[in-house]
Structure 1
Amino acid sequence: MPQRRDPFGSALAAIRRQLITGQHGPGASLSITELARELKLSPTPVREALAHLAGEGLAEERRGQGFFSPHLDSERLVEMFDLHRLYVSAALSAPWRLPDNSDDLGAAEGGLEPEGGDAARRLFACLVGRARNDTLSIAYQRIAERLAPIGRVEVRAGLQDGALVSKMTDRLRVGDQAGLADLLGAYYGPRRQAASELVRALRSPRPQGYIPDIV
């Protein structure tokens, strides 16, 4: 079997996906040895990948203890929702260039139909992309990845509002920034209120045969 040319890149992509899809519960230990065995890599690129992800906030490094998936409680989750809204609001206040027929939004409109949390995440990604601000996009991507596991349990809290996502999508398609801003409270408010329930759902054991969705 030929040797992989980029073991660090392989480890980084694989572990990032595990964390984003919620394969490790909040505060779970990320064993370098076990991950290396699972990914069929040596420990060195796995350790380097975990250090990189810790720098992004997707993992935590505790001196003398190793690496862990991020600790999460209701207070921290509310702070994450508030930060997500801050970045979205910043994108809404920036000048937009409306897409032409070849733009990403036009190509992705089918994917923006109201299909739960995935549709909302695609919508916000398109929204932030319209701001044409690389620094904002990078910051937004990091908080979106940290919140991705929560999106997988929102349905248990009754937070999958397809009608609201559809309304926001319509506002985005016509470039109505003010109309979209007016709808944000209806999106974030219930999530802030349900923060404790969402954290409990994320900590609950996965059902047998559980396969995480691909983000």
Structure 2
Amino acid sequence: MARNRDPFTQALSSLRERIYSGALPGGSPVIVQDEAERLHLSTTPVREALARLSGEGLVERATLGGYVTARLDAPAARDRYAMHAQYVRIAIELNGRALGSLRPPPPRFEAEDPTAAATRLFSSIVCSAGNQVLWSAYQKVDGQLDLVRRLEAHLFDDLSAEATALYKVYAEETDPAFLDLVARYHDRRIAASGALAALVHAGAG
């Protein structure tokens, strides 16, 4: 059976999308039997998918058993953006030690989705550092930020220019210049974390 049709992948993809879309807002119980019936699956792949999502920080074990979706309040959003910035900075430093003035090539810039373009650039930088512990920690925080990233366009009207600048400076300028852009990228999102969390809570987008 094709991988994209196996029950675990089907359950994982569906649950992750329902969390990202707000169909399962923060603090909502996730009923294994209900999700299994909705997907026409047994409960086993649903439980396995929830265990994976728990490891990613998207769901949590409930006090009385079962799972609930993680709440993304203002402090949580702020802390995740701060950790994301730190992981990118660490990767830049690791690449600098290993490669000197050379840099791993950036992914192709896709202007139609500047949020995704910036995310791909950061992911490429961290992945290229070759540190599995760093990459695993980054992936977890990066995944938790997907929900708020979808709402950034409600607050920022210059996302395309921002992503274009990140790619341009990464390719042409010195590390301090790029590090400054990385800091500015994250600092304004940290400052807006309350507004972003409010949009998540309101179900915007």
Shorter-chain TM-score range: 0.7 to 0.9
CA distance in 1, matches of 2:77, 2:204: 20
1:34: which partner in 2? 34
CA distance in 1, matches of 2:182, 2:81: 11
Q: Which runs of 5+ in 1 are unaligned?
A: 208-215
SS in 1 for 2:61: strand
Query: How many angstroms does 1:110 deviate by?
Result: 3.5
SS in 1 for 2:13: helix
CA distance in 2, matches of 1:175, 1:21: 37
CA contact 2:88–2:122 (8 Å) conserved in 1: yes
Tell me the percent identity: 29
2:115: which partner in 1? 117
| Counterpart pick for 2:186 among 177, 185, 188 | 188
1:65-214 → structure 2 map (5 Å cutoff): 65-96=65-96, 97=99, 98=102, 105=106, 108-111=107-110, 113=111, 115-158=113-156, 160-174=158-172, 176-205=174-203
1:35-75: CA deviations, max 9, x gaps? Answer: 11222111122122212221221211113142111112111
Paired residues in the alignment total 198
The answer to which of 168-177 and 30-39 deviates more is 168-177
Q: Relative to 1, partners in 2 of residues 1:177 and 1:24: Cα closer, same or farther, differing over 3 Å?
A: farther
Q: Which has the higher helix share?
A: 2
Residue type matched to 1:137 in 2? W
Q: Relative to 1, partners in 2 of residues 1:110 and 1:85: Cα closer, same or farther, differing over 3 Å?
A: closer
CA contact 1:51–1:61 (8 Å) conserved in 2: no
Query: How many angstroms does 1:34 deviate by?
Result: 2.1
CA contact 1:21–1:148 (8 Å) conserved in 2: no
The answer to which of 38-47 and 159-168 deviates more is 159-168
Q: Relative to 1, partners in 2 of residues 1:178 and 1:131: Cα closer, same or farther, differing over 3 Å?
A: farther
Q: Relative to 1, partners in 2 of residues 1:143 and 1:54: Cα closer, same or farther, differing over 3 Å?
A: same
Moved over 6 A (4+): none
Q: TM-score, normalised by structure 2?
A: 0.84
CA contact 2:57–2:140 (8 Å) conserved in 1: yes
Query: How many angstroms does 1:182 deviate by?
Result: 1.1
SS in 2 for 1:60: strand
Query: How many angstroms does 1:126 deviate by?
Result: 1.6
Query: How many angstroms does 1:175 deviate by?
Result: 7.1
CA distance in 1, matches of 2:156, 2:8: 39
CA distance in 1, matches of 2:92, 2:200: 30
